């Protein structure tokens, strides 16, 4: 083999090994349960534990099925039942640029702080949610999507025809939810175009900007939604591979549930103690009533006895 061919051969091996190493560092399947399939190019098959996911792979879960993904050492992603997720992006130049597109269903992500230049986002047809250390869920439906933030903050931007509407964004904070349907996106795009009209006065532009902001205004997450999310993620395995920050983030999601359980147990104990004290009080009162009745009876009997003695004495006095 000539030196040139040898060098080319070694170069190919090196490039292949680097490419393989890069793939191993991004997304892989940690665990799955139920009817889960992965579409790789034109082939659909059951995944394997530890399988590396590539660009354009599609993960699909059936009824009652779940799959957990690991994002390097920086995050855990749970794809819930009846959900379809496509790996739209993995890397951009030398940095991570992970974008998971949710066609339908629910996906939850817990991430620690990302490295400088790295990005992670969940995307639907109406919104894209980018994070840097948080826990949140995206629910995608035919008519739109919602983003529920459990801890940290999430930057949300609307999407129109798969294009980010860069002129508007909203920060969704802890225990907040923002929902964006296709009609809302259409309204936002129309208003932005309207505000760019040079004939529009400044105060009118400000009014339009406020209307756009109001359309994306987050609301407080309902207790039912919070309970639902906790139920969906309560059994996520905290693997050793992920960074300690990720474990802490996931712990934050569940610690409120633990606190709630402790509070419920506390209330149960307090209620049981109140009932015990009430029964003890009732028993004490009953004893006191019985004692009082007994004493009154004894006093009556004593009075009757003394009266009888007096009567007998009177009877025994001889008449003159």
Q: Is 204 a member of any domain?
A: yes
Nearest partner of 250 among 80, 130, 77, judged by Cα: 77
> Residue 296: what pLDDT?
86
pLDDT tens digit sequence for 166-208: 878 999 999 999 999 999 999 999 888 888 877 777 788 788 8
Its pTM surpasses 0.75:
no
Mean pLDDT of the chain: 84
Which residues of 144-254 form beta strands (DSSP E)?
144-151, 153-160, 163-164, 170-173, 176-181, 219-220
> Residue 6 falls within a domain, yes or no?
no
- Number of structural domains found in the chain: 1
- Residue 235 sits in which domain range? 23-263
Residue 40 counted as domain residue: yes
Written as six digits, the tokens of 65 are 């099925």
Residues 6+ apart with CB under 8 A from 314: none
Identify whether 213 is part of a domain: yes
Structure confidence at residue 28 as a pLDDT band (50, 70, 90)? very high
List the Cα angle 119/159/188 in 5-degree steps: 130
Q: Look up the CATH number of the domain holding residue 214.
A: 2.60.120.1440
Is the residue at 130 inside a domain? Answer: yes
Residue 132 lies in a domain: yes
The answer to the question of residue 131 being in a domain is yes
Residue 154 pLDDT grade (very low, low, confident, very high; cuts 50, 70, 90)? very high
- Mind listing the pLDDT tens digit for each residue in 255-268? 755 555 655 666 77
In a domain, 194, yes or no: yes
Rounded Cα distance, 253 and 255, in Å:
6
């Amino acid at each position: 083999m000539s030196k040139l061919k040898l060098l080319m051969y070694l170069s190919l091996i090196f490039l292949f090994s680097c490419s393989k190493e890069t793939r191993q560092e991004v997304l892989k399947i940690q665990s799955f349960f139920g009817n889960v399939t992965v579409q790789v190019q034109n082939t659909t098959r059951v995944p394997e534990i530890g399988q590396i996911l590539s660009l354009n792979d599609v993960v699909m879960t059936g009824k009652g099925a779940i799959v957990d993904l690991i994002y390097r050492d920086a995050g855990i992603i749970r794809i819930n039942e009846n959900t379809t997720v496509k790996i739209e992006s993995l890397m951009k130049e030398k940095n991570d640029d992970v974008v998971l597109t949710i066609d339908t269903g629910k996906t939850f992500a817990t991430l620690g702080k990302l490295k400088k230049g790295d990005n992670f986002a969940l995307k639907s047809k109406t919104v894209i949610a980018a994070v840097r250390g948080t826990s949140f869920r995206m629910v995608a439906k035919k008519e739109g999507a919602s983003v529920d933030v459990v801890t940290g903050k999430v930057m949300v931007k609307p999407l129109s025809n798969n294009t980010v509407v860069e002129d508007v964004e909203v920060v969704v904070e802890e225990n907040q939810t923002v929902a964006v349907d296709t009609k809302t996106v259409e309204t936002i795009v129309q208003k932005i175009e309207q505000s760019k009209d040079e004939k529009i006065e400044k105060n009118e532009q400000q009014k339009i900007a406020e209307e756009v902001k109001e359309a994306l205004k987050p609301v407080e997450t309902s207790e039912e939604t919070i309970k639902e999310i906790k139920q969906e993620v309560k059994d996520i395995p905290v693997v050793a591979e992920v960074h300690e920050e990720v474990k802490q983030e996931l712990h934050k999601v569940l610690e409120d549930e633990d606190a709630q359980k402790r509070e419920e147990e506390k209330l149960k104990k307090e209620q049981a103690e109140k009932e015990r004290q009430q029964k003890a009080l009732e028993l004490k009162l009953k004893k006191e009533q019985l004692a009082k009745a007994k004493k009154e009876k004894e006093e009556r009997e004593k009075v009757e006895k003394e009266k009888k003695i007096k009567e007998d004495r009177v009877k025994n006095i001889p008449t003159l």
